[in-house]
Structure 1
Amino acid sequence: MEKNKYYYATKFSARVIEEAHDLFLSQLGVTKEIGKPSKMSVNIGDEEWVFDTLQEFLSEYPKGNRCFFYHQIQECVFGVSFNEFINDEDYTRVYVIFPERSKIESIFQVFERNLDESKIVTESEPLTIFIGHGHDPQWRDLKDHLHEKHGLNVSAYEIGPRAGKSIKEALEEMLDKSSFALLVLTGEDININGELHARENVIHELGLFQGRLGFTRAIALLEDGVQEFSNILGINQIRFGKGRIKETFGDILATIRREFGSN
């Protein structure tokens, strides 16, 4: 006997998946040590990770834009898959195969009990992401990924008509229109101690957008080797290796999902 159910605009927590999986194993009289899942994978941006242990999967699952969990023991199956569509409706699919209907329903009850808290809240206003940057061209890789792969609206000084507007006027316009901001802090200037630091204008923009959008919606992307400024520890930040801004893509999408859900 098999049951499938699609939960739209829903992503269950790692805790819920673990609880349902534990119940699946207990109904078969199998321990976690013996009952290793058949496949556990998480897609983060352009990368797919396939894990060997349940704890590895559960730790990375919250970041994933696509996740797959499948465990078959003899003829019994427990499966969960999550698919994220930034401009469409996300969904989680749960499927269970068991000889007894009561055992299937008891596993689904774990998800039903946690359904309300697992709903993805969406906003009616379209999401617009501002990218602040210096001269380093890495920001364009980020812009292309968000816009071309995920269909998100992206704004920056180089995007859109700016003729006849001062820098201050253009910045005010982008402050008004943006709902999320990413400030790319790459090492471009050298101070008197020979240390690399980000352009002052990008640090200034970070402060402006945090004041307008709040700390959870204005994120610093800090490249390795760049001197930290005084209040960086109090700022939401994502770090990446030198010249490797693609390392941030998965965390950025997870942050967007957390703040806006499916947009």
Structure 2
Amino acid sequence: MKQQGHLEKIIFTLIFGISSFFIWQLKLFDPQVFFPGLKRLAQFCSYLFPPNFDILPSVLWAMWETIQIALAGTILGFLMSLPLAFLGAKTFFGPTVTIIARGFIGAIRTIPSILYGVVFVVAFGLGPQAGAWGVAFYTLGYLAKIYYEAFEAVDQEVMEAVRSTGCSKLQLLRFAVMPETANTIISQVLFMFEYNIRSSTIMGFVGAGGIGYYMLGYVQMLQYQNLLTTLIVTFFVVMMIDFLSFRLRSMIVVAIPKP
């Protein structure tokens, strides 16, 4: 116990020391930068008020477009992630197939969502199509990894019982793996939809449609009161979707018992 306590102190000291060094190196609290920055931030916040609710109809339409982008991208990414997770699970395939599939998943995951937005804006032009495809590919990378790990965690006794019937790999997936992982599959899709609402907003800054595109325009034109209106709408919509998604996930976990 004493050795464990001593080791914990050493680890804590190292973490604290390294963190302090990085803070010092990056000059996060340099008085010549930090306090003038706070002053400029306060000045910027004063420009936001009062919010201009005259633009509310156009902002609500842009928010609806953002929800459409997030929903379409989430569904498309989910549908693409299932076969890729199937290929990446060692439960079904040998090392050659799983290594290739996981390498592809890893490559997709290394690219941030906003960069996908840039790529698809170049491909399809400005607008919601680029945003939906960007969301879809980011969702694909996230869900595929979660799902193949969930597939591999299925109880081996259940797997062997179904295998003993002489079923195919797809039948094994359908009758053994999917029922065992239904909670994870559905709850992660809902969680990803929550995230994609926020992600779709950010993608608008690179021209991928939605309310973020309006935010960027208001910032560039120094229309900060309009910007505050978009922030208020975004805040309430995101909070509402987060709450509904949490309730749905809680209901699904209770409603779908393991077989």
| TM-score when normalising by structure 1 | 0.26
Larger radius of gyration between Structure 1 and Structure 2: 2
Structure with greater contact order relative to length (CA < 8 Å, sep ≥ 6): 2
TM-score with structure 2 length normalisation?
0.27
Give 1 or 2: higher helix fraction.
2
